[in-house]
Amino acid sequence: MQYGNAKSACLLTFLLFGCANTGPEKPLSKVSNEEVIKLKSGGYVKTQSFQLLETDYQAPSDTVLRVITKSDTSSVAAAKAATFLLTVLLGGNTSQSTFSKHDLKGSKINTVGNPSVDYFLPNINRVIKDSLYVKDNADYRNYPLSIRYFEFYLVYTELAGSSNYELIYAMNVSASNSGNYKFDCSFTTGSYPLDEWSLSGYQKVKDIVKSKLDGCIIEFGKESNLKLLASDLESIKKKTLKINKYPT
């Protein structure tokens, strides 16, 4: 990339997720919560919730609600036009990458936290404690379950015409890296005007997300799902013990 392109591209990148930083490589995530659970059936399981951190290559987890408005898109469109003009003046390559409204940073609503940690995780831990059955009081603390939360934002449905916004939410539960188990709780809601979403401190957001998460918690607690989880934990443990016994 020519110098002119790099400088102008930074203007657009800043409006999305900030300009790239030089220096040591940043960590991709951090543990925001960890709990060892003693199962009623005997045995132990550990859960860890992970928050993605902002890097040059990924957006951070939404710890609070974000709102992406049409004006955010307009700002980036204006920046792209300025980037194009600056690139032409500097004699650089005028080809430009496209962007999605879902890539925009938007504005944070700090009074509305992501319920993944404060609501979903405690309920998942409760289900695991009360309902997960493992054989022979097995101890799986060395093979923690990961709860990763990603997106929690409102975004306009159409750039022209409709003034409605939809809610995007994404998170999942997975076994250790060597496991196959994965439980997804992600959804996009119906659309409503932003004024309706934001009424009474975004109460509609809170109510809809809680209802959706309650559905996910019920699905997670089904016997068929918990059997898959227990089976995968045992498989991970056996695989790890075998590797440790017969290292390559």
- Residue by residue, what is the 3-state secondary structure of the chain? CCHHHHHHHHHHHHHHCCCCCCCCCCCCEEEEEEEEEECCCCCEEEEEEEEECCCCCCCCCCCEEEEECHHHHHHHHHHHHHHHHHHHHHCCCCCCCCCCHHHCCCEEEEEEECHHHHHHHHHHHHHHHHHCCCHHHCEEEEEEEEEEEEEEEEEECCCCCCCEEEEEEEEEEECCCCCCCEEEEEEECCCEEHHHHHHHHHHHHHHHHHHHHHHHHHHHCCHHHHHHHHHHHHHHHHHHHHHHHCCC
Q: Are 133 and 229 in contact (CB under 8 A)?
A: no
Q: What is the pLDDT of residue 177?
A: 72
Q: Are 56 and 18 in contact (CB under 8 A)?
A: no
Q: Is 16 a domain residue? A: no
Q: Is 154 a domain residue? A: yes
Q: Is 100 a domain residue? A: no
Q: Are 149 and 114 in contact (CB under 8 A)?
A: yes
Token pair 């995530």 is found at 29
For the chain, residues with pLDDT lower than 70 are 1-24, 72, 74-99, 160-161, 244-248
Q: Is 81 a domain residue? A: no
Q: Is 61 a domain residue? A: yes
- Rounded Cα distance, 83 and 73, in Å: 15
Number of compact structural domains in the chain:
1
Q: Is 99 a domain residue? A: no
Structure tokens at 224: 């068929």
- What's the pTM value of the predicted model, to 2 decimals? 0.78
Q: What is the pLDDT of residue 35?
A: 96
Q: Is 37 a domain residue? A: yes
In the chain, pLDDT over 70 holds for what percent of residues?
76
Domain region containing 164: 27-69+106-245
Q: What is the pLDDT of residue 72?
A: 62
Q: Are 150 and 173 in contact (CB under 8 A)?
A: no
Max CA pair span of the chain? 72
Q: What is the pLDDT of residue 7?
A: 42
Q: Is 98 a domain residue? A: no
